[in-house]
């Protein structure tokens, strides 16, 4: 093999691996495939988010040995399972080329596991990182923790997160969902849980993820649970002209108290995430209705709780209400200036208490393009930012590879089209393409390892990676539209 060729590819991989502590470094600044209207200046928003996350870490994150929790407020010794879910998501999405928050992620997950309530779920309120202060699980924390585990696999590359995610997803199905798909607020509600629902606890964006991980129950997640709970969202939203969902409803979505308050404040983010990640049209319709109301109110005057039927505003002007309702504005390009106005107001509010600041970070990540679905992000790469390293599979500008007579790989710089969708789940590649596709695996030194596929594809297919030793490889995918490279890691 040509020595320079070997050194070139080895250098490429060494650069990608040494510079990228993670696979999808912050900021991603994705456009979500054009599914949503996002902030005009995503780069500035990314810097603002990074600064506010640093303050959040200082005030809210508290570790003790191998566990960590998210304080309910600065200085507090009270911790909620929902804070663990938020924290795990933030550790995934704020990890960058200089700082991986995998260790902090693991400590939060250890905290979750330490307070298992016997159903594989975390008790919802903990004191002093050591005492159960209120028993039973709450779905809002569990559902975010499960999704964060899935994203952690794609971000950090360790298959243990997939195993943990599947176990948690199945525990939720057993104890926090009815057989008809409707969610239960937690696992200790008894009969009351069958008729009292909290729409903001359910997340439609996560259902395709859960279906892909918990394959034995894929139809339950992708169809049964999705449809039953979207009907709750739709029923609650359609009750009122503002489109806002209620904090609590009955099993048919009928309003309990006519308030859009702190419980419901997660619902717009969850629906907007489904729009961004999957182009979900049912979620988009709800967002559009909310946006008609939100767009009539200046960001500086948005206050909650909001009386849903009349649109009367409360007295709380904070990031929970400003940024949660901001996410509805991603639904139409005509709200671009209003979206920017709402984010500017949120930044001006500065550092706030635990809940407000956590919601600001999560909503801000979404509307700035920094919360992509990492399960598919490698097949829809974001624009390369000036501060990001060139990593195969996470950049829109990657080097081309072509085989030489001795089986080695030469490097040619080129801007290549994303002609095929690829995601990795363990030792299986999920491929979406149309036409002739050739897929080859190369070692980091450039040696050809295996041809995985060479033939026509129509739609989706699964390609096995079994038989290839553990390690880091380059996957080359060639189609009539061009060539793609993707770094893959096998355990």
Q: What is the pLDDT of residues 66-102, one digit of tens each?
A: 999 999 999 999 999 999 999 999 999 999 989 999 9
For residues 384 and 389, what is the distance between their CA atoms, to the nearest angstrom?
Answer: 8
For residues 474 and 417, what is the distance between their CA atoms, to the nearest angstrom?
Answer: 17
- Statement: residue 128 has pLDDT above 80: yes
**Residues in contact with 485: Cβ distance below 8 Å, sequence separation at least 6, in sequence order:** 392, 393, 398, 399, 400, 401, 416, 474, 475, 476, 477
- Statement: residue 11 has pLDDT above 60: no
Most confident segment among 22-36, 120-134, 384-398: 120-134
- Statement: residue 14 has pLDDT above 50: no
For residues 477 and 19, what is the distance between their CA atoms, to the nearest angstrom?
Answer: 24
Question: To which H or E segment does residue 14 belong?
Answer: helix 3-19
- Statement: residue 399 has pLDDT above 50: no
What are the structure tokens assigned to 397, written together? Answer: 């500008």
Buried-state track 433-452, b at ≥16 Cβ within 10 A, e below 16 = beeebebbbbbbebebbeeb
Q: What is the pLDDT of residue 463?
A: 85
| CB neighbourhood size of 281 (10 A) | 9
Check if the beta carbon of residue 379 is closer than 8 Å to that of residue 422.
Answer: yes
For residues 405 and 258, what is the distance between their CA atoms, to the nearest angstrom?
Answer: 71
Q: What is the pLDDT of residue 411?
A: 33
Q: What is the pLDDT of residue 431?
A: 80
Instruction: Compute φ and ψ for 350, nearest 5 degrees.
Output: 75, -160
Q: Which of 150-159, 392-401, 426-435 has the lowest mean pLDDT?
A: 392-401
Q: What is the pLDDT of residues 206-223, one digit of tens each?
A: 999 999 999 999 999 999
Q: What is the pLDDT of residue 34?
A: 94
- Statement: residue 384 has pLDDT above 70: no
- Band of the pLDDT at 478, cuts 50, 70, 90? confident
Mean model confidence pLDDT for the chain? 87
Among 359, 358, 380, 354, which Cα is nearest to 369's? 380
Residue 306, SS3?
Answer: strand
Q: What is the pLDDT of residues 147-178, one digit of tens each?
A: 999 999 999 989 899 999 999 999 999 999 99
Q: What is the pLDDT of residue 193?
A: 95
Exposed/middle/buried for 159, CB within 10 Å: 0-12, 13-18, 19+? Answer: middle
Q: CB under 8 Å, gap of 24 or more: what pairs does 381-387 form?
A: 381/418, 382/28, 382/29, 382/30, 382/31, 383/29, 383/31, 385/27, 385/29, 385/43, 387/27, 387/97
- Band of the pLDDT at 420, cuts 50, 70, 90? confident
Exposed/middle/buried for 216, CB within 10 Å: 0-12, 13-18, 19+? Answer: exposed
- Bridge-based pairing of strands 131-134 and 125-127 is antiparallel
Q: Please give the share of the chain, as a percent, with pLDDT higher than 70.
A: 87
- Band of the pLDDT at 378, cuts 50, 70, 90? low
Q: What is the pLDDT of residue 405?
A: 38
- Statement: residue 5 has pLDDT above 80: no
Check if the beta carbon of residue 60 is closer than 8 Å to that of residue 91.
Answer: no
Q: What is the pLDDT of residue 9?
A: 44
- Bridge-based pairing of strands 131-134 and 67-70 is unpaired
- Statement: residue 297 has pLDDT above 60: yes
- Statement: residue 29 has pLDDT above 60: yes
For residues 363 and 361, what is the distance between their CA atoms, to the nearest angstrom?
Answer: 6
203 vs 394, residue with greater confidence: 203
Among 331, 321, 332, which Cα is nearest to 287's? 331
Question: To which H or E segment does residue 85 belong?
Answer: helix 81-94
What are the structure tokens assigned to 474, written together? Answer: 């380059």
For residues 230 and 182, what is the distance between their CA atoms, to the nearest angstrom?
Answer: 9
Domains in the chain, CATH or no CATH each: 3-15+389-490 (2.60.40.3080), 23-377 (1.50.10.10)
């Amino acid at each position: 093999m040509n020595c320079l060729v070997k050194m070139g590819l080895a250098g490429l991989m060494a650069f990608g691996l040494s510079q990228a502590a993670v696979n999808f470094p912050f900021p991603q600044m994705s456009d979500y495939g054009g599914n949503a209207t996002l902030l005009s200046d995503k780069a500035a928003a990314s810097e603002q988010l990074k600064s506010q996350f640093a303050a959040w870490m200082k005030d809210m994150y508290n570790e003790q040995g191998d566990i960590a929790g998210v304080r309910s407020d600065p200085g507090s010794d009270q911790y909620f399972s929902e804070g663990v879910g938020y924290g795990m998501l933030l550790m995934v999405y704020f990890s960058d080329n200089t700082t991986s928050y995998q260790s902090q992620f693991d400590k939060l997950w250890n905290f979750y596991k330490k307070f298992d309530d016997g159903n594989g779920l975390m008790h919802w309120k903990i004191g002093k990182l050591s005492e159960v202060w209120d028993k039973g699980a709450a779905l809002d924390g569990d559902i975010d923790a499960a999704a964060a585990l899935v994203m952690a696999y794609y971000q950090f590359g360790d298959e243990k997160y997939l195993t943990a995610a599947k176990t948690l997803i199945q525990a939720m199905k057993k104890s926090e969902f009815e057989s008809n798909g409707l969610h239960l607020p937690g696992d200790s509600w008894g009969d009351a849980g069958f008729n009292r629902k909290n729409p903001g606890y359910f997340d439609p964006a996560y259902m395709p993820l859960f279906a892909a991980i918990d394959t034995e129950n894929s139809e339950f997640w992708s169809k049964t649970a999705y449809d039953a709970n979207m009907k709750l969202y739709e029923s609650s939203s359609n009750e009122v002209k503002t489109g806002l969902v209620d904090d609590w409803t009955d099993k048919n979505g009928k309003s309990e108290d006519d308030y859009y308050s702190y419980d419901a404040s997660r619902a717009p983010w969850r629906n907007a995430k489904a729009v961004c990640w999957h182009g979900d049209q049912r979620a988009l319709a709800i967002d559009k209705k909310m946006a008609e109301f939100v767009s009539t109110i200046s960001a500086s005057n948005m206050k909650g709780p909001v009386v849903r039927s009349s649109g009367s505003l409360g007295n709380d002007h904070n990031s929970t209400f400003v940024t949660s309702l901001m996410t509805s504005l991603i639904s139409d390009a005509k709200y671009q200036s209003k979206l920017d106005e709402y984010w500017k107001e949120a930044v001006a509010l500065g550092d706030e208490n635990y809940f407000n600041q956590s919601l600001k970070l999560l909503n801000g990540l979404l509307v700035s393009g920094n919360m992509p679905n990492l399960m598919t992000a490698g097949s829809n790469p974001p624009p390369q930012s000036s501060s990001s390293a060139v990593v195969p599979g996470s950049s829109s500008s990657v080097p081309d590879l072509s085989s030489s007579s001795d089986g080695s790989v030469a490097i040619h710089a080129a801007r290549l089209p994303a002609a095929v969708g690829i995601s990795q789940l363990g030792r299986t590649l999920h491929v979406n393409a149309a036409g002739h596709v050739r897929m080859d695996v190369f070692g980091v030194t450039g040696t050809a390892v295996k041809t995985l596929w060479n033939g026509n594809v129509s739609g989706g297919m699964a390609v096995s990676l079994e038989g290839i030793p553990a390690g880091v490889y380059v996957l080359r995918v060639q189609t009539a539209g061009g060539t793609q490279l993707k770094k893959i890691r096998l355990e």
